Amino acid sequence: MNEFVTKISQTWDESPLNYLRLGILITVLSVVFLLSGIPVTYPGWILLVFNVLIVNFVLYGILLLGLNLQYGYAGIVNFGPVLFFALGAYTVALVSAESTFTDIGMGLPWYVGVAAAIVVTLVVAFILSLSTIQLRGDYLAVVTLAGAEIFHQMTMGLSATLGGSQGIPGIPRIFHEIAPDAFTAGFAAFSALSGLLIVSYAVMQRLGESPFGRILRGIRDDETAVEFLGKDIFSYKVKTFLIGSVLMGVAGAFLGLINGGVSPGFITIDVTVLVWVGMLIGGAGSNKGALVGLLIISSFQLFTRFANQSVPVDSQTFASLRLMAVGLLMILIIVYRPQGIFGDPEKLNVEA
């Protein structure tokens, strides 16, 4: 056994192709296991951990990889990633939901909903990029943030089409419909979506190492120099914005399929804050670093969720203390390691 492990460790490298194979293997094995109908039993608290990690790390991780491509590689300041996350979730709901309460949803198969989410996200991202991608710095950040808030307010107000504050229930929960029980469904969902996260990581890593990725880093560092070399800056930025937005939309689509419904509470600015904090802590421009940063924040949220019972303060005060702790961590990172834990100061033009 030791010889087998040693052989695997010697043959494994950090190439995106190996991560791609691993992600596909995990996803396929998870689906095969789910279809086999073999039940899984474990303590109930592990199911809670699975549910929290699926949303706060796996799905947000896919979203974060798209954001890191936009900001970490190309320098596109997108403060509205939750907009495309929400578009994916609500598109799946409108296409696949079988709600009897609001009569919203066409009841089509879930994979049709995912395909529709990708198309809608692409169209909206393309329209938004044509009109805003040439804006720089704070201006682009304000526009994307405003777009996300406008959509959030639309979901709150359009009760006839988007369910209002109640959202849209009745989305088919792809894992729960096949699995014999909630524990098996939770295990299969965590495994399959973790495989999807690894596949997404492999694709983004390969893209970042390609000539396309090198041009993006050049655009981030010095647009004028790249334009002087004859590269179409606008075209590269639009492509980057579209690729990143599609990842965000896919993550949102699976959010709806995992939860069995969507509501405005799932698409608040808190999502944007969480992924940005994770990326900056781990290191913008590093896919691995960004995911590690997100894991740190997700773990903090998970392990402090029930700590209020051991602290002599009310729940509202404790929630504020948790946010203060995250803010303090951000301050320490910015002051002492502005490039993040895994970031390269030479590549990001910051002083270590």
Which of residues 315 and 231 earns the better pLDDT score? Answer: 231
pLDDT of residue 42: 75
Asked if residue 177 belongs to a domain, the reply is: yes
Alpha carbon 232 to chain centroid distance?
28
Asked if residue 275 belongs to a domain, the reply is: yes
pLDDT of residue 347: 56
What are the pLDDT digits (tens) for 196-209? 999 999 999 999 88
Predicted TM-score of the model (pTM): 0.88
Which of residues 149 and 165 earns the better pLDDT score? Answer: 149
Indicate the average pLDDT of the chain.
Answer: 83
What value does the mean pLDDT take over residues 79-96? Answer: 92
Q: Measuring CA to CA, which residue among 65, 55, 12 is closest to residue 259?
A: 55
Pull the structure tokens for residue 60.
């947000």
Amino acid at 214: R
Asked if residue 55 belongs to a domain, the reply is: yes
In sequence order, which residues have a C-beta less than 8 Å from that of residue 165 and are 6 or more positions away? Answer: 156, 159, 263, 264
What value does the mean pLDDT take over residues 26-37? Answer: 83
Asked if residue 4 belongs to a domain, the reply is: no
Helix (H), strand (E), coil (C) string for 207-249? HHHCHHHHHHHHHHHCHHHHHHCCCCHHHHHHHHHHHHHHHHH
Tell whether the torsion through CA atoms of 272, 264, 192 and 248 is positive or negative: negative
- Residue 203, helix vs strand vs coil: helix
Looking at the structure of the chain, the number of domains it has is 1
CB 185 within 8 A of CB 12: no
pLDDT of residue 8: 45
pLDDT band at 50 (very low <50, low <70, confident <90, very high): confident
Pull the structure tokens for residue 344.
């390269």
What is the residue range of 244's domain?
Answer: 23-34+43-305+314-348
Q: Is the pLDDT of residue 46 over 70?
A: yes
Asked if residue 155 belongs to a domain, the reply is: yes
Strands (E), the chain: 168-169, 261-262
Asked if residue 8 belongs to a domain, the reply is: no
What are the pLDDT digits (tens) for 126-138? 998 888 887 776 7
Which of residues 200 and 4 earns the better pLDDT score? Answer: 200
- Residue 168, helix vs strand vs coil: strand
pLDDT of residue 351: 47
CB 302 within 8 A of CB 60: no
pLDDT of residue 3: 53
User: How far is the C-alpha of 352 from the C-alpha of 346, rounded, in Å?
Assistant: 9
What value does the mean pLDDT take over residues 92-111? Answer: 81
pLDDT of residue 197: 93
What value does the mean pLDDT take over residues 16-42? Answer: 83
pLDDT band at 9 (very low <50, low <70, confident <90, very high): very low
Give 262's strand partners: 168
Asked if residue 11 belongs to a domain, the reply is: no
pLDDT band at 239 (very low <50, low <70, confident <90, very high): very high
pLDDT band at 241 (very low <50, low <70, confident <90, very high): very high
Asked if residue 3 belongs to a domain, the reply is: no
Q: Is the pLDDT of residue 158 over 80?
A: no
